[in-house]
Amino acid sequence: MKLKKTTELPTHIHFIGIGGIGMSALAMILAKKGYSISGSDQKKNLTLKKLAENKVHTFPTQAESNIDEILKVHGKNILVVRSSAIHRDNSELSKARKYNLTIKHRSEILAFLIEQKRSIIVSGSHGKTTTSTYITTLFSYANKNPTAIIGGIIPLYKKNYNFGNSEFLIAEADESDGSLVNFNPNIGLITNLELEHVDHYLDLEDLIKTMKQFAQKCECLITNFDCENLRDNIQSSKLFSIKKINNIDFALIPKESNGYEIIAEYYEKEKFIDVIKIPVPGIHNLSNTVAAIAACRVAGILFKDIKEGIKNLKLPSRRFEFKGLWQNRLIVEDYAHHPSEIDAAISIASTIIKTKHKLSKILPRRLVTIFQPHRYSRTQKFQKEFAKSLSQSDLVIITPIYSAGEDKVEDINNKNIGDELKKIKPNLEIYTPDNNQDVIKIIKKHTLEKDLILIMGAGDINLICENLFLELLNNKLISNNIAA
């Protein structure tokens, strides 16, 4: 049963796995709205510290006793929130069921918040976090202070949410578990569509079926004309493109790219409007930019305000994020965990090397990629595609698979990708270490000065390499405004 606008949530809400990027944003918004919030998470991170600063009590374990403690203080009129990452046999979840407490999926809480505001909801296989971050940024610079619930850190706010005082709410619609069908957006936006989340979807047709359900629930739907799967399967209200002007509502056609910014011509309904300088690299980010512009224009934001806001666009954290220099090597981190995302990240890195633009004290000469496969199911499905994408590098390190809670699949590991890579490029320098500790040793032994080291993955690869880059504090980038 969905929570409607007229429904009020219980005064106390408990989040199982509150430290997650999506769960913590919801928890913070509800705390700001005056609800009593608690949560549990076994991992220690900065997010939990921020929650504590906002009077959110967090338990360091997910034990049954947590529920008993909450009941003693708040009684049975509480709401327990879980995400798809929380397994059915989770101790807290089992105890909540035993007591017949109200349990909701995180998507139902987001749906409740969506009902309270004029909403812009972003979905798609890739670019959701970046596009929703851009929309939030453009709204903010247009003095429309939105509520935002984002799956990454918004550079403008340095957090994954904003508790705004305007009528607008901007959020991501996660298609990974199909829960986005719970939403009824005023404005829906789909960035692109290709097979992903193979742990949930049988095939592309299965994913398309879910996305059609989401599309039908949007009052106004904006889609990417350049994506064939969207063009052929989803009926939309407005179209955007970076390739075509004719019969397109919002077009942003690239004219110049140098690895750190793109200059493009902007058109509305085939009419030339202006030349725009986008201060972020990558042709895929140009598509995310015009998607954000489209959403803002449909919502009524003036173009002059949008153009001013574009000057301040920055990528969210872990989206081609320049970390700095380590022993004369340029370190970049990216969330890429699908072949298309790896292609996009490597394309930016290759452009930087080719154009020889001085982003830091060095001009990178080689591309070193460090890739952490995410989930056994995804690795099994895309190992050949991963190899093809990684083959564009000069040196490749493939770490052990980050399971993301999946059970281990026998004979599926990082060496499978390495074997496929050798077939494509036999002379490529490839390393497939058995453990994450060896990754550090390989970096120190086999990378060279003036390498661009691109670290990719949606798991904990950033933490694995953290101790290597402590020296970054004393090695700032020359152009800090390019990324982050």
Residue 478 has pLDDT above 60, yes or no: no
Half-sphere exposure of 260 (CA within 13 A, CB side): 17
pLDDT of residue 148: 95
Average pLDDT over residues 104-125: 92
Specify the pTM: 0.84
pLDDT of residue 352: 83
Average pLDDT over residues 265-293: 93
Average pLDDT over residues 216-236: 93
Residue 469: which pLDDT band, with cuts at 50, 70 and 90? low
Residue 360: which pLDDT band, with cuts at 50, 70 and 90? low
pLDDT of residue 198: 60
Q: Among 73-77, 246-250, 261-265, 351-355, which stretch is predicted with the lowest mean pLDDT?
A: 351-355
Average pLDDT over residues 303-309: 95
Residue 479 has pLDDT above 60, yes or no: no
List pLDDT tens digits, range 24-70. 999 999 999 999 999 998 877 778 888 888 889 899 888 899 999 99
DSSP 3-state assignment of 329?
A: strand
List pLDDT tens digits, range 185-224. 999 999 988 867 666 667 888 888 888 999 999 999 999 9
Distance CA 145, CA 322 (A): 28
pLDDT of residue 197: 61
Q: Among 22-31, 308-317, 426-435, which stretch is predicted with the lowest mean pLDDT?
A: 308-317
Residue 481 has pLDDT above 50, yes or no: no
More confident residue, 259 or 13: 13
Q: Could you tell me which residues are beta bridge partners of residue 430?
A: 396
pLDDT of residue 465: 63
Q: Strands, DSSP E only, in 41-178? A: 57-59, 78-82, 102-105, 118-123, 147-154, 159-162, 168-172
Q: 343 and 456 in contact (C-beta within 8 Å)?
A: no
Residue 6 has pLDDT above 60, yes or no: no
pLDDT of residue 483: 35
pLDDT of residue 199: 61
Residue 386 has pLDDT above 60, yes or no: yes
Written as one letter, the residue type at 286 is L
Rounded to the nearest integer, the mean pLDDT of the chain is 87
Write the DSSP symbol of residue 408.
P
List the domains of the chain with CATH numbers.
12-105 (3.40.50.720), 117-310 (3.40.1190.10), 321-474 (3.90.190.20)
Distance CA 185, CA 90 (A): 32
The values of phi and psi at residue 350, to 5°, are -65, -40
pLDDT of residue 51: 87
Residue 356 has pLDDT above 80, yes or no: no
Residue 149: which pLDDT band, with cuts at 50, 70 and 90? very high
pLDDT of residue 467: 62
